Amino acid sequence: MPAGAEAPNAGTRPLPVPEAAGSAASMLRFRCDEVGCVYESRSGAIHALQNVSFAAQGQEVVSIVGPSGCGKSTLLRIIAGLQPPTTGRVSFEWQGRAEPPRCGLVFQEAGVFPWKTVLDNLAFGLEMCAVPRAERVARAMEVAVRLGLNSFLYHYPRELSVGMRQRVDIGRAFVADAPLLLMDEPFGALDAQTRRVLQEELLAIWQASRKLVLFITHDIDEAVLLADRVIVLSGRPGMVLDEIQVPLTRPRDLSLDRSRIHEVTRHIWQLLEADVRRELSLPR
């Protein structure tokens, strides 16, 4: 399954037509209870995650930050239903039922369909929901304008830069309008300027759609600037070191005075520094 496609936890039943922006999303809750993951490898067991517990609900943006290799992607795949946890569980409450909603996925490596145009890539999630073509196109074009893709609607991914392909992937998740958006370092492969612009667009699109977003990053500033709450994971095995409420209101503007988040980012770095150095085998 390419990145950006629907998670299989919802793929076995007919997909509902997307909800109106922001409406039913407020009824979504999920929680991880003591989630652990151990991979068996030729060199022995790799303990990727241990006792990870946290919850999120409604229209929150929650970021997860932690050192490279601490199990962030593993955690996201478990939440998306793409792999089971070794221990613990993930539970959902969606529209009064104990089942996962549709979820949109965006990974670091843009997973666009090479044989589809930008427009058809953007509209893919709606196609899966049997939304009529005229409506698919209208919604895809709306998001294309926001993400600066409107001049490339009939181009194929091979004709786009890496940053543009990533925008298509992100756009597709937004067009599909799934109530839960899971993003795994979506800006990780982008240059700093493109990243900054896309962070701003993410804030703006979120403001209009109010989804529950789980956003993984290794960038502490990004974790704080985009989220309402930051979950800090330790080095492997990833364990929750802290959950921090971000002291910023919405709507949010990235040109804000960064001294307002200095205390929080410093605190997160203090939590992570020893583990990052240990991973790199560097002394403190």
Residues that bind ligand ADP in the complex, under the rule CB under 6 A: 39, 41, 46, 48, 66, 68-74, 236
Pairing of strands 229-233, 240-245: antiparallel
Counting contacts by CB under 5 A, is residue 279 touching Mg ion? no
**What SS3 class is residue 111?**
coil
Are the C-beta atoms of residues 136 and 127 closer than 8 Å to each other?
A: yes
Query: Smaller CB distance to Mg ion: residue 74 or 121?
Result: 74
CA dist., res. 224 & res. 268, Å (int): 10
CA dist., res. 208 & res. 203, Å (int): 9
Query: Smaller CB distance to ligand ADP: residue 37 or 173?
Result: 37
Exactly one of 51, 53, 57, 73 binds Mg ion (CB under 5 A); that residue is 73
Question: Residue 78: is it exposed, middle or buried by C-beta count within 10 angstroms (0-12/13-18/19+)?
Answer: buried
User: In the bound complex, what is the minimum distance in angstroms from residue 180's beta carbon to Mg ion?
Assistant: 19
What residue number has its CB nearest to Mg ion? 73
Query: Smaller CB distance to Mg ion: residue 72 or 252?
Result: 72
Query: Smaller CB distance to ligand ADP: residue 83 or 161?
Result: 83
> Residue 46 touches which of Mg ion, ligand ADP, none (CB < 5 to 8 A by kind)?
ligand ADP
User: In the bound complex, what is the minimum distance in angstroms from residue 176's beta carbon to ligand ADP?
Assistant: 23
Choices 58-66, 68-76, 86-94, 113-121 (CB under 5 A): range interacting with Mg ion? 68-76
CA angle 268, 271, 273 (to 5 degrees): 100
**What SS3 class is residue 64?**
strand
